Structure 1
Amino acid sequence: MNPVPPVSSPGYAGEFADDYDRWFSKPGVTGATVEALTALAGPGPVLELGIGTGRIALPLREHGIEVHGVDGSEAMLRRLRAKPGGAGIPVTLGDFTEVPVAGSFSLVYLAGGTFAELPDQAAQIRCFAAAAARLAPGGLFVLDAHVPEALAAAAGPEIVAEGEDHLVLCHRTLEPSAQRYRSHYVIHEDGRTRHLRVEFRYAGHGELDLMADRAGLRLKERWGSWTGAPFTRDSGYHVSVYERP
């Protein structure tokens, strides 16, 4: 099972917005993510890129942390604002490649594999640079990402969600020559079946470290999960913590 749930993007978020929390929020992963980010947040404020429905941001706010967000999906943001406390989070509708917000932050983060939704290396490099520019001195940029070898070894299909009235399956196909993978979602609900395809661009942790260095950041920590477990040969994903000197 994939420990990093899918996330929002303008291309398919409208299809998933109403069901995202029901299908993709895994309480254990969400809780560990919130606890880790709370420990890293510093004095605040913090900024989430790809804030989506507020799966992470709202619990952080309940911890007393001032959270801001950026997202490209109006549908996801409507879901966020409809939740208790969601309207109180300052959110910018826009491309988080450019981080279109003012001010500085003690922590900028992406969770749930959001970084891989950026379409190519150039966009990912721009995201690193823009995030670094929004960090206060000593601030942290944090993201999680699949280990490419684990992606290649994973077998499908995977059951994403199931119940009396619905079944959601995911199957991934990789294109190593382009460092891309597709997640195919087959959703059967209310007597009908539909198929959604979502595109991602993956990068190994060494490539991510080079992007960080180019943006003036340095690796501070790398874990094998949001619980802080060691990053080992058996890790399916990693959490990388970069620091602005």
Structure 2
Amino acid sequence: MRQDDLWDSEAAQSYDTPGTGMFADAVLKPTVARLTELAAGGRALEFAIGTGRVAVPLAEAGVPVTGIELSRPMLEQLRTKVDEQTIPVVVGDMATARAPGTFTLVYLVFNTISNLLTQAEQVACFRNAASHLDAGGRFVIELWVPELRALPPGRAATVGTVEPGYLLIDTYDVLHQRVVSHHVTYSPADGDGRDARLFRSPHRYIWPAELDLMAQLAGFELESRHADWTGAPFTAESPSHVSVYRLPADR
């Protein structure tokens, strides 16, 4: 399943959920505030900018933002919000594409590094981030912690979310460190489920320790790790993390 096939026009048109879910103010405001702080007055580059969920409010907060995006339909949705002069975007793979200039911050949010399905591609993503950064620059990754402890013995799936109108089931291939997320959306009022829709996305999951090693291979050091964008402590029970990696100031 290719990522540019996965994020097609249908996915792009249904991606935004203004005011709810990952588009809720409670999610976006601390994200934008933390990224503004980490940009430290410089330019920011978003890998996999998508429809601009984070980039648009970050630019509105005064941070100059550039993007890299593989999916042209997702980019078309972004262009309904801002033009190329406001947020320039390079079409390409975040592991290899090059944006002009250098930046104080590169960021990759909402588990998107796991869309790269091999370890080699994920390492290349770190190296690509490093190549875009000024000395002392930061690479920020938001990523979930694999839920293998919740995987019953002999079973290949976990139920991630159950709420009215939405069901998430993850199926694991622990041999190849892969997971496929099955997103089922439906109308709670539909008793027979005829309107249910399925969207599947493949991922290569990454443990925090492996992520840190990828960072070291690209010349980064771990500066901080928190459970979320508000700075909550990261613990063994945290379902996700926001990790900040930094290049040496004298590289």
The answer to whether TM tops 0.5 is yes
Cross-structure match for 2:223: 220
**Is 1:40–2:73 an aligned residue pair?**
no
The CA RMSD over aligned residues, in Å, is 2.0
Aligned residue type for 1:172: D
2 CA distance for matches of 1:145 and 1:39? 19
Cross-structure match for 1:113: 111
Shift of 1:89: 0.6
Shift of 1:177: 1.4
Cross-structure match for 1:6: none
Contact 1:49–1:99 (8 Å) recurs in 2 = no
Shift of 1:26: 3.9
Deviation string for 1:89-139 (max 9, x for gaps)? 100111111132121100000001111100110000101011101110010
Cross-structure match for 2:16: 21
2 CA distance for matches of 1:159 and 1:85? 37
Over 6 Å off, 4+ runs:
none
Seen in structure 2, the aligned counterparts of structure 1 residues 84 and 130 have a Cα distance that, compared at 3 Å, is closer
Aligned residue type for 2:11: F
1 CA distance for matches of 2:85 and 2:166? 30
SS at structure 2 position matched to 1:196: strand
1 CA distance for matches of 2:48 and 2:198? 23
Aligned residue type for 1:88: T
The one of 218, 233, 236 equivalent to 1:233 is: 236
Cross-structure match for 2:4: 10
Q: Count residues with an aligned counterpart.
A: 231
Contact 1:131–1:141 (8 Å) recurs in 2 = yes
Aligned-pair identity in percent equals: 42
Deviation string for 1:131-180 (max 9, x for gaps)? 101110010000011112x35527425247x5xxxx33221111121111
**Is 1:195–2:193 an aligned residue pair?**
no
TM-score by length of 1: 0.87
Cross-structure match for 1:57: 55
Structure with more relative contact order (C-alpha pairs < 8 Å, separation 6 or more): 1
Seen in structure 2, the aligned counterparts of structure 1 residues 198 and 52 have a Cα distance that, compared at 3 Å, is same
SS at structure 1 position matched to 2:167: strand
Q: How does 1:178-189 map to 2 (within 5 A)?
A: 178-188=176-186
Cross-structure match for 1:171: 169
